[in-house]
Structure 1
Amino acid sequence: MPLSVVQIDHTLVDVQLVDDVRRKPIGRPWLTLVLDVATRMVLGFVVSLDPPSRLSVALAIAQAVGDKAEWLAVRNLAHIWPCTGLFDTIKLDNAAEFRAVALKRGCEQYGMALDFRPPGAPWWGGHIERLMGTLMAECHLLPGTTFSNPVEKGGYDSEARAVMTRAELETWLAGRITGIYHNRVHTALGRAPLSAWRAAEATGWVPRTPKDPDRLLLDFLPFAYRTPRRDGLQLFNIAYWHPEMAVWAASKPGKLPVRYDPRDLSCIWLQTPEGRLERLTTKHADRPPITLWEHRAALAALREAGQGTANEAAVFDAIEAGRYLVSAAAGKSRAARRAEQRRTDAHEGLNAPETGAEAEVPDPDYVPKIYDSELW
């Protein structure tokens, strides 16, 4: 039946993308795909400039389980995508992001089993790998496509022909999947995936659904353990606070799970002893939203500058300097444009305004507080 067995995998998409602002090349994105084996329906997918990670897996699962009507409407797609519900078993390869504790805990909480591919048995993921091969073949029709060998490529300049942004590629893929693939007869099934899904529904089959759909993504996010104190708690050198901190600290619960979204460290979620997820915000409300990869880059720059231990203010000053230098270099460097686009995508994915975002053209009189472009 649908959702009894699903497969999740990643692939590097065979298309060069451009950034949103300058429309200049930023490289190839990654695709994370969730496939239902019984019906061959695509349950969810994520297009990201980040390599496969715990976050991309969590986002793909959250989309696969949830209702997708609003997601399609935002992209002006009038197609039907009826797949919702929890899985019974997820088949995976042995990549690090699939072995993450956050994925294991999330699956245990929602009654989903993990089934890992034995080493040297690639055919275990054959269903999803064939689908990804089909999608990549169709991507070769797009401007900016890449090729697997020099003979196919010939004199084609993929970067010079690139025209699509990450969001545009995501919408194009959604249209191909929901508008064409789901409605095309699948040779192994003898009918279209959407028809197979509808046939299962006609038997009276009803998918399992989470009690609180809004919490599902949070339960699959990465986490760390922290002990709540009267004055708050620290994660990634950042101080967080909640009005109930003194109450939680007084109960002496020991270390509790603290979940975080790498796309925005302006808030985290503390799991209380009762199992509730409470949202904690930064003590300093004027701090701009930052990503985890910006935070890591700032710490690396501070270490290189001889600051072994970094306080919160130094980290945010380093991030501010890094953002300025990335923005200034974005017109010349593909890596800088990609870094800038990653931050934009992270904030847009959270539907949050880009607080403190730099102007497209940096102020020529502005001087970063610390570090120079050579360090960065």
Structure 2
Amino acid sequence: MAFNQLRLYSDFSLYGKVHKVVSINPPNVWIKRVDGEDREMLFIDLVTHPTFIAGKSMKTRKKEVVVYDALAKLSETRRDEVSDRFEVIHPLILLDEIKSGNLRSVQKFIDKYGTLLYEGEDIEKLTQDEIISRNNKIREIQKRKKRNRSTILGWLKLYRDQENEVMNSGVEGLILSRGRGYTGRTDTKTMEICDPNRPDIVLDVISVRQDDAVIAIVKRIIENEYLTKYRVSKAVVHRSINDACIIQQLPCLSYSTVSEILNRVDEKAKELYRNRKNATAIYEDVARGYADRDALHPLDIIQIDHTRLDMQVIDDITGLTIDRPWITIGIDVYSRLPWCLYVSFEPPSINVVRKAIQHGVFFKHAKKRFGTESEWAAFGIPNVIYVDNGMDFKSGEIKRLVNETLKAEIMHRPVRTPRYGAIIERLFRTINDQLIHNILGTTKSKFADLGDINPEEEACLSLSQIRKILMVYLTDMYPIKDHRGLPLHSKTPLNRYNDGCVEAGYPEWIESSEEERYRLEFMLTLKKPYTREGVRLDNRIYKSDECSDIIGKKTQKYIIKYDLDDISKIYIYHPKKERFIELFCYSPAYEQVEGVNAYTFKQVRQKWIEEGEIKKKSIPGNDQYARASQRVQEEILTGLHKKKRLRKALARMSESSQQNIAEAFLTSQTQILNENKTKYSREEELFLAAALAEEEEGWGSDA
């Protein structure tokens, strides 16, 4: 994928004319046109200008963004194989970059593969053979398979050949077909080996030459008898398969055939299900180091972590207290400048990490979206993303997103050593002490500090307001305050960041025109069939007239990309048109779920199930959806004042659902006022009416 980096004397096109960078004075750059005219522009205004086109000298990668990711077609097991091959050749790739004069690659090599170096050794004097030998010794200690020299150099050649092709990436060149069975014969069929407990998870795909009925028997026996903790022998599996074949009057298989099939089942899958304890020791992902060093330039090292804010938040529509929100923040270690921010009621997860990294990589457009005086300065591709050992950060999806899509490195700090995350923890404390603890609704850091404060009664800010306040604070306030962790000659995060850009150039970034393609990369991925009814995903159906030519059986699956925050549409890769096609929700109708998140739909569907309005595996019609949605709103409205759990449920729903509930809430309050009208004096009646009008006006402005 192609990233850009602006350096001194970089060339680019603006207004159709060729320009060069003649001086970098962050946040500005001096540019000069070929006819001699020069001027100063804000860096962010320059690179986001609609006529801006990066020149060849700005490109930091040879390959371009690919709309179709061939890696997504692979099963999880084969995808892990590709990642392992890339891990083996990566130090060789970095070595080539170092010898070509790329200084950033030196630190990348030390961070990721410092264990391959002897004390005081010069990296540039290393040879490929030395790296291969030392890497194999480490893999042997980790009980991982060693690779011989010819195999590794073959993978390196495949990577480079694919890297130099247009619209392709080097990692895709590491997809091999050997070892999967009879892949070259016309009578070859595929057999998917799935998780015994979750059939939707494919562990391995191997090729066989048997009848479909025999394949079904072999698949069932392998999944339910062979891949178990009882670790039955091949002979037992052979007998079980032949017993089932005899019952169904099918030809029996020889022991050698069964043995060969079992040998081709992925070793990792066999270890995970037959010997879990041993598999953990062998296959548990181990980071080869951590960024226990000083950052050398802006976006060299980013620290990311989650925390809950020390305050209660009210609902955007009803004004009732919900709960404490979660925030995910990334900070640039070099300058202490914030890099990313994600605020929601969703606890830490893979989806949250994806959203936070996406926010850090793309342009923030803080002025336009949140009305800040300045733009959020830090954005682009970091060298190292430094995280703790939470499962959301150790996911294989996140590792591949960072290591292979962004060509960065994800590193985990040592277990039970919180001091290595001190920088991000200090930022959390600063936000709470200087901002959150001074706002009504704060819970303080300690219960003893609350005194007479009642956070739930005094809460006055909604999630959207908290998000805006944090954006303003992290853009216009925090970056220009003195920081004790920075040098005296550059005491504020913004000054430190700008000074670093003068020395090392601006960090790599993704052009605005390419962001939509990268958004697909950041989306969750799975494989689904496209049948006559369309694509079925979580009890919803998606269709498009553009995909009528790929309708097929359920065994034929296509790549699907989807976003949990908007279930109204998904994306399917069309193999004939070689691009992603947008599929809109057909049942329920697109208009009814536009902007609705997966959680809202789950609540509505649960109401269908409870009231018996749908049958198993059926999809309700549009009228049913509308009626069930209304019942969910009525139920939440009934217990809104009493049950905090219902307020949390409402907070995770989409704005359209919240608006309907708010209207019903205001109507109910008016009815209560009218019913109690005779119980109050004229003075009390006017007071209540004024209070209600003030609430209505406030809700209307928020909406």
Secondary structure in 1 aligned to 2:453?
coil
Change (3 A) 1:204 1:122: closer
Does 2:669 correspond to 1:361?
no
Does 2:523 correspond to 1:221?
yes
Match of 1:199 among 485, 499, 516: 499
Match of 1:277 among 550, 575, 580: 580
Match of 1:145 among 442, 455, 466: 442
How many angstroms does 1:39 deviate by?
1.4
AA in 1 matched with 2:325: P
Q: Distance in 2 between matches of 1:104 and 1:256?
A: 23
Q: Distance in 1 between matches of 2:439 and 2:565?
A: 29
Q: Distance in 1 between matches of 2:506 and 2:377?
A: 12
How many angstroms does 1:218 deviate by?
3.2
Deviations 1:117-154 (A, max 9, x none): 33222223221111111112221111111133332112
AA in 1 matched with 2:408: M
User: Which residue is 2:64 aligned to?
Assistant: none
Deviates more, 1:300-309 or 1:114-123: 300-309
Q: Distance in 2 between matches of 1:194 and 1:263?
A: 33
Match of 2:559 among 237, 257, 264: 257
Runs of at least 5 residues in structure 2 that lack an aligned partner in the other structure: 1-296, 669-703
Q: Distance in 1 between matches of 2:386 and 2:447?
A: 34
Which residues in structure 2 correspond to 1:178-189 (within 5 Å)?
A: 178-189=475-486
Change (3 A) 1:360 1:176: same
Q: In the alignment, is the contact (CA less than 8 A) between 1:330 and 1:340 conserved in 2?
A: no
Q: Distance in 2 between matches of 1:335 and 1:165?
A: 17
Match of 1:167 among 443, 464, 469: 464
Change (3 A) 1:21 1:104: same
Which residues in structure 2 correspond to 1:22-61 (within 5 Å)?
A: 22-61=318-357
Q: In the alignment, is the contact (CA less than 8 A) between 2:327 and 2:342 conserved in 1?
A: yes
Percent sequence identity over aligned pairs = 26
Q: What is the root-mean-square deviation in Å for CA atoms of aligned residues? A: 2.9
How many angstroms does 1:251 deviate by?
12
Q: In the alignment, is the contact (CA less than 8 A) between 2:533 and 2:541 conserved in 1?
A: no
AA in 1 matched with 2:645: A
Deviations 1:158-191 (A, max 9, x none): 1111111111111222222222211112212122
Does 2:599 correspond to 1:293?
yes
Q: In the alignment, is the contact (CA less than 8 A) between 1:10 and 1:30 conserved in 2?
A: yes
Q: Distance in 2 between matches of 1:233 and 1:128?
A: 42
User: Which residue is 1:370 aligned to?
Assistant: none
Q: Distance in 1 between matches of 2:445 and 2:470?
A: 20
How many angstroms does 1:310 deviate by?
4.2
Secondary structure in 2 aligned to 1:144?
coil
Q: In the alignment, is the contact (CA less than 8 A) between 2:317 and 2:658 conserved in 1?
A: no
Q: In the alignment, is the contact (CA less than 8 A) between 1:262 and 1:291 conserved in 2?
A: yes
How many angstroms does 1:234 deviate by?
0.9
User: TM-score normalised to the size of structure 1?
Assistant: 0.84
Q: In the alignment, is the contact (CA less than 8 A) between 1:46 and 1:56 conserved in 2?
A: yes
User: Which residue is 1:120 aligned to?
Assistant: 416
Number of positions where the alignment pairs a residue of Structure 1 with one of Structure 2? 356
How many angstroms does 1:23 deviate by?
2.0
Structure number having the greater helix percentage: 2
Change (3 A) 1:254 1:114: farther
Q: Distance in 2 between matches of 1:63 and 1:247?
A: 37
User: Which residue is 1:92 aligned to?
Assistant: 387
Secondary structure in 1 aligned to 2:322?
strand
Secondary structure in 1 aligned to 2:652?
helix
Deviates more, 1:22-31 or 1:328-337: 328-337
Q: In the alignment, is the contact (CA less than 8 A) between 2:338 and 2:474 conserved in 1?
A: yes
How many angstroms does 1:16 deviate by?
0.9
User: Which residue is 1:371 aligned to?
Assistant: none
User: Which residue is 1:337 aligned to?
Assistant: 647
How many angstroms does 1:303 deviate by?
5.6
Deviations 1:25-84 (A, max 9, x none): 111111110111111110121111222223322222222111122x33332211232222
Match of 1:134 among 425, 430, 441: 430
How many angstroms does 1:264 deviate by?
1.8
Does 2:609 correspond to 1:312?
no
Match of 1:324 among 620, 628, 634: 634
Does 2:538 correspond to 1:236?
yes
Q: Distance in 2 between matches of 1:266 and 1:44?
A: 27
AA in 2 matched with 1:228: Y
Deviates more, 1:157-166 or 1:51-60: 51-60
How many angstroms does 1:199 deviate by?
1.1
AA in 2 matched with 1:184: K
Q: In the alignment, is the contact (CA less than 8 A) between 1:231 and 1:246 conserved in 2?
A: no
Change (3 A) 1:226 1:321: same
Q: In the alignment, is the contact (CA less than 8 A) between 2:314 and 2:462 conserved in 1?
A: yes
Q: In the alignment, is the contact (CA less than 8 A) between 2:599 and 2:653 conserved in 1?
A: no
Q: Distance in 2 between matches of 1:320 and 1:55?
A: 29
Change (3 A) 1:220 1:171: same
Q: In the alignment, is the contact (CA less than 8 A) between 2:389 and 2:413 conserved in 1?
A: yes
Match of 1:8 among 281, 288, 304: 304
Does 2:352 correspond to 1:72?
no
AA in 2 matched with 1:51: P
User: Which residue is 1:372 aligned to?
Assistant: none
Deviates more, 1:101-110 or 1:168-177: 101-110
Q: Distance in 2 between matches of 1:99 and 1:324?
A: 41
By relative contact order (CA 8 Å, sep 6+), the higher-ranking structure is 1
Q: Distance in 1 between matches of 2:506 and 2:389?
A: 31
Secondary structure in 2 aligned to 1:118?
coil
Q: In the alignment, is the contact (CA less than 8 A) between 2:547 and 2:574 conserved in 1?
A: no
User: TM-score normalised to the size of structure 2?
Assistant: 0.47
Deviates more, 1:55-64 or 1:224-233: 224-233
Deviations 1:274-324 (A, max 9, x none): 874332111243533332113333455556667772422178464453233
AA in 2 matched with 1:277: F
Q: In the alignment, is the contact (CA less than 8 A) between 1:36 and 1:43 conserved in 2?
A: yes
Change (3 A) 1:102 1:260: farther
Deviates more, 1:44-53 or 1:223-232: 223-232
How many angstroms does 1:14 deviate by?
0.2
Deviates more, 1:335-344 or 1:56-65: 335-344
Change (3 A) 1:57 1:237: same
Q: In the alignment, is the contact (CA less than 8 A) between 1:223 and 1:257 conserved in 2?
A: yes
How many angstroms does 1:253 deviate by?
9.9
Change (3 A) 1:356 1:153: closer
Change (3 A) 1:357 1:275: farther
